[in-house]
Amino acid sequence: MNRESHLSGIARIVTGALLLSIAISPALLGAESTIAGAWEGGIQFTTTKAPIELRLNEATGAIAGELILPGQDGKGVALLNVKRKSEKLNFDVKNGRAVARFEGKIAADGKAITGSFTQAGQTFPFELSKIPGELSQGK
């Protein structure tokens, strides 16, 4: 094999590897999908389900957002202590002196979050679905 055909073969292998690396989806590599955007769902209390909305944004690696309780003047409450580790998402919401804790798991497809809502020693399940096409307004 002459030097030119050897270099040509190496160039083809490098080009093929580069194209393959570009084509591999970050999701296949275990990268986290974005959770930024609008979410809606509810907290299932003993006898009723309370609707909730969540607005999340991600900037420079930090997650921020607000929780909205429809029917209660539509004002959002800022999320506190927001943490995401892999598929887990946790945050707090302060309402007056009371602090509520949300501990959730993001679905593999990134379209749902389910978990538990705890306040004043009581825990209830919650669920949220991502609203397609809705982007967080950066609030």
Beta pairing partners, 64: 57
Domain definitions of the chain by residue range: 1-31, 37-130
Print pLDDT tens along the chain (139 aa): 554 554 444 434 433 333 333 333 333 334 557 899 999 999 999 999 999 999 999 987 799 999 998 877 778 999 999 999 999 999 999 988 899 999 999 999 999 999 999 999 999 999 999 998 865 444 4
Helices (H), the chain: 3-23
How far is the C-alpha of 53 from the C-alpha of 139, rounded, in Å?
13
Architecture per CATH, 37-130:
Beta Barrel (2.40)
Type of residue numbered 71: G
pLDDT at 4: 54
Which residue is listed with tokens 């919650």?
Answer: 126
pLDDT at 42: 97
Taken in order 45, 130, 103, 67, the sign of the CA dihedral is negative
- 43 within 8 A of 126, measured Cβ to Cβ: yes
pLDDT at 134: 63
How far is the C-alpha of 92 from the C-alpha of 66, rounded, in Å?
10
pLDDT at 2: 56
**Closest by CA position to 126, among listed 60, 40, 18, 64:** 40
